[in-house]
Structure 1
């Protein structure tokens, strides 16, 4: 039972607050590939299919389903996802090797992401080959993929530690070979919003092919850097659900989607299933979000402070930027150490009870005793305490 009115910002009201930014963006969600590179995480075929369907329901344009050369089981899973008949285009990862593209072709994917690193550090310690050799391998592989009907994304791994002129030159070569996208990978999360904007802007001056941005979260800036890249004109934004991924993870799908809507008025996604998808990924990955995680954390719409609770009861806009329903979440009014008598009375009414002053005094005493003992007061627990005070079973 919920006594609070739905007086939160509507989508239209949020649209009135937005900044101006190019609206031509798309999401490539890489949960099934980069997200599975989270230490200790392995998704089953059934789980990947379920996640792909939920990403489709949200309206993600591209789903990166995996890396087919990892195993025959991986290849089989990617092929199954390709055969689901989704509106989303299905992509897979490929090294700059013809054999990798052949594996992708066997999976019936729509797009292949061919990647190389051309930073000095990676060339020296990872490939032990010259930059010219690596770029030529990539171009040969791109040509083969295009000749066989695949859309191609050319991704520069460790792009943000690669000399910008070298990066532009590589992207220019890929453009001549007809790639559909060029991708900037901030592999170690070194960007900040300013440098993210600058690198995309600089490349966009010379490269006409649509630009992708792939941000890691080593400094906690992946979402901010992704949005900044979009402001500079990046078309394809890479995300993972809950921000899972290697080390500190990637830009979080839920954060990027809601930020696109709130900040820029991009409202082309079905956000009501975001919380459901987040919970599914947590269950499948056994990687759980922090309580204060933006958008999907259990505290994202929780209010305990008496001043906040009273204001929320009057008008949720006071302390909520958007309604929980927008992302399939629920508001949670919490009785705790910071809850005063008026706020507690409002919470009790919201649950559906009316207490006498004596009963309220007894309730607030029990609440404070519980919180001082560091015992949480969930809605169900509070209702059980109320029933006990009223002598109900």
Structure 2
């Protein structure tokens, strides 16, 4: 009996996206079903190129369709299209599909390092990624990307971002003279955050990662109020002090109706380069324990590795300079889970930053 497109789609209805908990046909992922004799081919278009369950879904699709009578071979092409969000007339970044803030309560936890490497990890999957350095008091992104001597140029009334390692990036540090200090009060900080969003030609981006200054001051509040945030990632280290202040950042963003995407633990454990044994150098609250306490997803941990800070000082992200070390794999896994959570947010809720009632925020379980 010859197989039909209806047979193929019916078989694929048993393939469930584990994050969205609906079948891929209903979600509109299955496209361009082609049947040539006993060979079936089709496209599965996911919501992010960084999907961590892409291989699992592909295998399930092949198994379900191969089991149909009259099918001897199956070809599945896995693609991705980050879903466009709804934009308001006053939207400062209409071409950006996901604006994600990276925050911490305490300085010195490696937030900027984590931001840079997650941005590169997302770009390596084929996503279009921007990186905005909103740490107006201590902008470090230009140094970490080896772009401290580069200056952006203007085109019309827009600033054209600097491009490094597949990222479009802009930082106040790229506009200041070397060593120049910023002596600003609150309104000037808020104005600068708005200008970095509005006056930069970010173009069409799947993800814009924003490196925030530590703490709960003007920059985090301004970003949450000005930008259509998909959500916030909290970076912490295994210290009780860092975890305590990170918790305060979570409470701030919740008060501003900004969803928390999850917690990332940096400097988690030292991996011996000789034997591979992992030793915990710090004995404070872990990122996983903090995420459980705050009831937010745990995105993963990055091991303590001297190559990470060394790479940042040399202007080459660690995920590029040392791609085979454990930290590189951690950054890739965390980037996948970050994209995963962003897709869940965009596919299951309307623009969460526009909710007036904080009780409407969805509650997401921790990522396995």
Q: Quick check: which one's helix share is greater?
A: 1
Flag the structure with larger Rg: 1
Q: State if a TM-score over 0.5 links the two structures.
A: no
Instruction: Give the TM-score normalised by the residue count of structure 2.
Output: 0.31
